[in-house]
Amino acid sequence: MQLFPNHDSGETMPQGRLLQSSYSSTPVLITESLDSMLSNPDSKKSCWNDLQAAKEILNN
C-alpha cells in the first residue's frame, strides 16, 4: 500500500500530520507547504484530491 501516491520516493518525506478525508482513500499529509501547493498550478493539478481532502479537513 502506497500512502503518498503523489510523493516522489527519492525525496525526504515531508513533515506534517496524516488526516483522513472522504475525498481520498489514503491518509492526507497536511504540511506547512500546503499554501505553496495551492499557488503552483502544476502541483495543484497533480495532487487535486489531496487538496480537496485538506480543504474538507481544515473546514471541519
Distance CA 13, CA 9 (A): 8
More confident residue, 17 or 44: 17
Residue 24 main-chain phi, psi, to 5 deg:
-135, 135
Grid coordinates representing 52? 480537496
Residue 29 is predicted with a pLDDT of 76
Distance CA 43, CA 1 (A): 23
Distance CA 40, CA 3 (A): 22
Grid coordinates representing 19? 488526516
Residue 8 is predicted with a pLDDT of 56
Residue 43 is predicted with a pLDDT of 65
Q: What is the maximum alpha-carbon separation in the chain?
A: 33
Q: Note the pLDDT tens digit of each residue in 18-56.
A: 778 787 788 877 776 666 666 777 766 667 777 778 888
Residue 12 is predicted with a pLDDT of 64
